[in-house]
Structure 1
Amino acid sequence: MMRTLFDAELNKLNVDLTKMGHLVEVSIENMIDAFKHQDKTLAKEIMDNDRLINDMERAIESRSFNLILRQQPIASDLRNVTSALKIVTDLERIGDQAADIAEIILNFEGEHAYRTVEHIPTMAKKAKMMVHEAIDAFIKKDLSTAQMVIKMDDEIDSLFQEVKQEVTEILKENSERIDYCIDFLMIAKYLERVGDHAVNICEWLEFNQTGTMNDHRLI
Structure 2
Amino acid sequence: MRRLIASTFTSLDGIMQAPGGPEEDPTGGFAFGGWMFPYADDSMDLSAAGFDGKDRELLLGRRTYQIFEAYWPYQPHDDPIAKTLNAAKKHVASRTLTTLHWNNATLLHGDVVSAVIALKAMPGPDLQMIGSGDLIQTLQAAALIDEYNVWTFPVVLGRGKRLFGDRIKPSALRLVRSQVSTSGAVMSTYVPHGDIQPGSFATLAPSERERTRRKTMADGMW
- State the TM-score, normalizing by the size of structure 1: 0.22
The higher radius of gyration belongs to: 2
- State the TM-score, normalizing by the size of structure 2: 0.22
Larger strand proportion of the pair: 2
Larger helix proportion of the pair: 1
